[in-house]
Amino acid sequence: MRNIFVCDIVILLLLTVGLSAKEKKIDFDKDIQPILSDKCFHCHGPDAKKREAKLRLDTFEAAIAKRKKGAAIIPGNAMGSAIIKRMITDDQDDIMPPPDSNRHVSKAQIELIKQWIKEGATYSEHWAFVKAKSPKVPVDGKDWARNPIDNFIYKNLIELKLKPNAEADKRTLLRRLSLDLTGLPPTPEEMAMFLSDKDPQAYEKQVDRLLNSPHYGERMAWPWLDAARYADTNGYQGDAARTMWPWRDWVVKAFNKNMPFDQFTIEQVAGDMLPNATSEQKLATAFLRNHMINGEGGRIAEENRVEYIFDQLETVGTTFLGLTLNCCRCHDHKFDPISQKDYFSFSAFFNQTPINGSGGSGQTAPTIIIPPAQEILTKQQNILKTKQDKLDALTKVLIDEFGSLAKAKSNDIKWALLKPLKAFAQHQTLVIGKNSSILAKGEIPNNDNYTILAKAPKKVSALKLSGLRHESMTGGGISRSNSGNFVLTEIKINLIREGQRIPVKIHEAQASYEQTGFKINQAFDNKKSTGWAVWNGKPFTQDHHAVFVLGKTFLFNQGDQLEIGLEHDSKHARHNLGHFSIATIGEIPVAGIAQLFKNHKVKINSKDDFLKKNKEFQKLQKNVQNQKKAINALGIKVMVMQDNQTRKTYILNTGLYNQREAEVTANTPESLFHLPKGVKADRLALANWLVSKENPLTSRVIINRFWAQVFGIGLTKTTENFGIQGERPKNPELLDWLSSKFIDSKWNVKDMIRLMVTSTTYRQSTNFTDKKIETDPYNRFLARGPRYRMPSWMIRDQSLAASGLLNEEMGGKGVLPYQPAGVWAEMTFGKIRYKQDNGNKLYRRSIYTFWRRIVSPTMFFDIASRQFCEVKDKRTNTPLHALVTMNDTTYVEAGRALAVRVIGEKSNAAKIQKIYSLLLGRNANEQEMKILQNKLQKITGKYKQNPKLADEYLNVGEYITPENSNKIEVASLANLALMILNLDESLTKE
């Protein structure tokens, strides 16, 4: 019962706030819809499939419709309305909501509904789905207000009987402002300048300075990266790396140059489809491609593809529209008027890319190549030039050489015909002709082997076998086979010297022509089954030659004889050479074996071949190629959008890729406003629709998130849900006024942020009073300034900045700062290891930290998972966070650097004050100083007892303590600085 009791208190509280003006009628959208939606719509709402008893309560017509047991709602007659009867009955079977539904309507809520029915049960549309009208600025708080935000806020405070806080002191204010606008604390110099500036516009001057700081873009980008699920890896099995960081830099730049938010939206959703899209505009669409990629072996490509589209549309739905479209994957929305058909019609906008869902590459097409920074490119191009020059020089030398060789040697090629002494075959008769050619006659056996014996010439380097056409051969060819073709299965060369037979080895060979599968090399491979043949499917129009280069140049003696064996053992019948001659040559031309064919007009050794044979040339050429590849790889491949398909889109039953139902076409949800008539329904139309003046959601959703960024919590705290189940804004008029203003300002983001931070509301002190805690524990009505623990990335950046370690370099590839050893390896079975960066890269701003999706950077806490779109800050308070900021090397080292930074101050007190001013922008007060001095003394005493400990402490992190410093002093002060870094005040923006 306890929880019910508590709920009632809250409702009553809300009632007193909401209904303080007695005449006020009950507002359906504000007071009734939230109850009906939460308690009834699940079964009696827009989802037609799950509707119980065919009763629908989300529209007036349906609710008053006649029913057997009476209409659910009878306007003016609360007790007669079935809905009330069923809520107050004692009958456990009849009572609504059913006890097992885990929903309960409190008495106070029933009273509200009764009152509403009495007043006529007027329905109205959900506030967020109706275009915001710029409300009149209240006159309240004239003396207090600096701009209309304050009037709206003040009006609420009057109703709550709360008085706003006074303005925060200047020091607090500048720290708050610097952290909010840049994520970095003010330097002591900036603080001094502000304090001494007596100009009434001194504060506004600081606002402008900070809005123009390049760090502003970095600060604004972080929540956008969370929404866009930006990461440097794919997620899932393998978690391959990707190179999307040029997009991250695009976002930072866009905020810095104050790109109007409508343009910011259009370029990210459909920059590729703009007329004459620039590469920057195409790059912007990487926003949609930041989704996870599943490269798991068992995945079905189409299933992946569909998942990616879901992710894209849901990201757009949450980021810009604040809609929980994901609810409609499987069924009509339970609360909002969005159907499953709407969901899939929306998906059609994203369904026209060439992405097919296969593969696990983090650079899956379509991609765009972003050129590297000019200095990197120039350096690499210079290296290429050196390498290319070397290659060119050698090429020139070689070409000259080739030219002279070719010229000198080509005329010298003189084959000497071998004059056979004897020629015989196993089966046929071989007749030696006048020109030393040999002709086969007689029977035609299937296979035959020849032996030719001749006097050995003095010098032989190569031997040429010429198959000569003859009229007695088939078709005037070279053999008496069915085609005139032959298969020489083996050629054997022997030297006959003093009765001894000495085999002569063939080193290589070339032929004028090789039939497929019958290469010349197969004629001396010692295999009877393979051989050389020359059939090209046509009648013979030329003789054929084979040149066999011997292993060395032979010098023969007088009386030596050459014995040449020609074997025809193939399975092809009668494929025996029928007419042929043999010639020899003493020396092979330098230009190579092909040169031997010169007078036969076949393959001529080209210049290129000649070059390729040179090993030095090969090496240099490879160097050049590798360098070119390296330069190409410098271009960064970023996945972007591109529409080049005309895919049909279907409703998928329960979102399953292979369960297609009705076909749908691209469209925006029907219950919101329509795309303009005559516009082609594509992604560009969608982008324009998102930022159309008619769109009730985008401006509200975005401005609400900026508000949350500055004030810690949105005007509606459900930043992710503007639907009926979302929280009704605490100050709806203010939200509407801001969102109209945003559009009127031509979507000027800096102007809107300026408006917020220059308001009196923002400038209040954060002091709590019991009354304020009691009335407004979460500071939703802003009777005091915002006070919140900073995001973990900001805490880290602040520590780096205050310690002087911060490296302000912007953009580029993600960096790998300190992280405990083995975290990646353990998660991936050693497949992926963390290679921590060194030096300056350790101190880059957090936004440049490499983000591995399956194991987020460990130095951050309460962060978005970056696995899907998230638009809400987490802000918990656990011991694990304390362990990070007390023990992570980043913080320990920052404490040490901070200590070294102040060590030159004269006294301990002065040192401590300097740390306070660097980090907190203020001096420690007397009480604090006493504690700080006392702890420093105690810690120093302990290090004095054990100086080795101090040595160890100075070695945590890469930062080098100056050699001449007193180690015990530095170690002690460094511990104190770490303590100050961990103060609630340090962790908090206030």
Partner 1 sequence: MNPLTEYQNNMTRRQLLKNSTNGLGAAALTNLLSGTANAANDKINTPHKVAKAKHLIYLFHNGGPPHIDMFDYKPQLIKMNGETLPKSFVEGKRFGAMTKNIDAATMLAPVEPFKQYGQCGAWVSDLMPHTGAIADKLCFIKSMYTEQVNHAPAISFMLTGSEMPSRPTLGAWLSYGLGSMNVNLPSYVVMTSVSKGTSCGQIFYDFYWSSGFLPSQYQGVKFRGGGDPVLYLSNPKGVSKEIRRDMMDGLSQLNQLKKNRVGDPEISTRISQYEMAYRMQTSIPELTDLSDEPQHVLEMYGPSVKIQGTFAYNCIMARRLVERGTRSVQVMHAGWDHHNSITTELYNQCRDTDQASAALVKDLEQRGLLDDTLVVSGGEFGRTPFLAKNFNTPKKWGRDHHPHAYTTWMAGGGIKPGITYGASDELGMNVVENPVHVHDLQATILNQMGIDHTKLTYKFQGRRFRLTDVHGHVVQDIIA
The DSSP element (H or E) to which 11 belongs, if any, is: helix 2-18
Partners of 488 in beta bridges = 532
What minimum distance in Å lies between the beta carbon of 742 and partner 1? 24
Measured from the CB atom, the residue of 271 and 712 that comes closer to partner 1 is: 712
What minimum distance in Å lies between the beta carbon of 858 and partner 1? 6
Measured from the CB atom, the residue of 56 and 784 that comes closer to partner 1 is: 784
Measured from the CB atom, the residue of 424 and 778 that comes closer to partner 1 is: 778
What minimum distance in Å lies between the beta carbon of 63 and partner 1? 20
In degrees and rounded to multiples of 5, residue 21 shows phi and psi of: -80, 115
What minimum distance in Å lies between the beta carbon of 335 and partner 1? 6
What minimum distance in Å lies between the beta carbon of 799 and partner 1? 14
User: How many CB atoms sit inside 10 A of residue 266's CB?
Assistant: 21
Q: Tell me how many helices (H) and strands (E) the chain has.
A: 34, 18
What minimum distance in Å lies between the beta carbon of 229 and partner 1? 11
Which of 781, 741, 776, 747 has its CA nearest to residue 764? Answer: 781
How wide is the angle at C-alpha 689 spanned by C-alphas 274 and 732, nearest 5°? 140
Contact 207, 177 (CB under 8 A): yes
In degrees and rounded to multiples of 5, residue 582 shows phi and psi of: -130, 140
Hey, which bits of 397-476 come out as E strands?
Answer: 416-417, 420-425, 429-432, 438-441, 448-455, 459-467
Which of 958, 966, 987 has its CA nearest to residue 900? Answer: 966
What minimum distance in Å lies between the beta carbon of 827 and partner 1? 5
What minimum distance in Å lies between the beta carbon of 96 and partner 1? 17
Measured from the CB atom, the residue of 709 and 986 that comes closer to partner 1 is: 986
What minimum distance in Å lies between the beta carbon of 928 and partner 1? 6
What minimum distance in Å lies between the beta carbon of 931 and partner 1? 5
Measured from the CB atom, the residue of 144 and 768 that comes closer to partner 1 is: 768
Measured from the CB atom, the residue of 300 and 376 that comes closer to partner 1 is: 300
Measured from the CB atom, the residue of 4 and 88 that comes closer to partner 1 is: 4
Partners of 439 in beta bridges = 431, 579
Partners of 636 in beta bridges = 370
The burial of 335, by beta-carbon neighbours within 10 Å (0-12 exposed, 13-18 middle, 19 or more buried), is given as buried
Hey, which bits of 59-162 come out as E strands?
Answer: none
Return the sign of the alpha-carbon dihedral for residues 786, 791, 792, 793.
negative
d(CA 869, CA 957): 35
Measured from the CB atom, the residue of 173 and 593 that comes closer to partner 1 is: 173
Measured from the CB atom, the residue of 575 and 896 that comes closer to partner 1 is: 896
Which of 938, 941, 965, 937 has its CA nearest to residue 951? Answer: 965
Secondary structure in 3-state letters for 544-563: EEEEEEEEEEEECCCCCEEE
Q: Which residue has the tokens 């020629």?
A: 423
User: How many CB atoms sit inside 10 A of residue 890's CB?
Assistant: 23
Cα 422 to Cα 179, 454, 563: the distances in Å are 104, 7, 10
How wide is the angle at C-alpha 420 spanned by C-alphas 417 and 422, nearest 5°? 170
Measured from the CB atom, the residue of 233 and 510 that comes closer to partner 1 is: 233
What minimum distance in Å lies between the beta carbon of 109 and partner 1? 13
* 532 secondary structure, DSSP code: B
Measured from the CB atom, the residue of 628 and 942 that comes closer to partner 1 is: 942
Measured from the CB atom, the residue of 548 and 851 that comes closer to partner 1 is: 851
Q: Which residues make Cβ contacts (< 8 Å) with residue 370, sequence separation at least 6?
A: 246, 279, 283, 635, 636, 637, 638
Q: In 946-983, where does DSSP find H-type helix?
A: 947-954, 967-981
d(CA 838, CA 836): 7
The burial of 605, by beta-carbon neighbours within 10 Å (0-12 exposed, 13-18 middle, 19 or more buried), is given as buried
Q: Are strands 490-497 and 500-504 parallel, antiparallel or unpaired?
A: antiparallel
In a 13 Å sphere around the CA of 951, the CA atoms on its Cβ side amount to 4
What minimum distance in Å lies between the beta carbon of 32 and partner 1? 16
What minimum distance in Å lies between the beta carbon of 782 and partner 1? 15
Q: Which residue has the tokens 């800096």?
A: 750
What minimum distance in Å lies between the beta carbon of 34 and partner 1? 10
Measured from the CB atom, the residue of 3 and 526 that comes closer to partner 1 is: 3
Contact 223, 846 (CB under 8 A): no
Measured from the CB atom, the residue of 509 and 899 that comes closer to partner 1 is: 899
Measured from the CB atom, the residue of 13 and 555 that comes closer to partner 1 is: 13
Measured from the CB atom, the residue of 15 and 956 that comes closer to partner 1 is: 956
Would you put residue 78 in left (φ > 0), alpha (ψ -120 to 50) or beta?
A: alpha
What minimum distance in Å lies between the beta carbon of 588 and partner 1? 51
d(CA 810, CA 848): 8
Measured from the CB atom, the residue of 480 and 796 that comes closer to partner 1 is: 796
d(CA 227, CA 222): 9
What minimum distance in Å lies between the beta carbon of 888 and partner 1? 6
What minimum distance in Å lies between the beta carbon of 375 and partner 1? 38
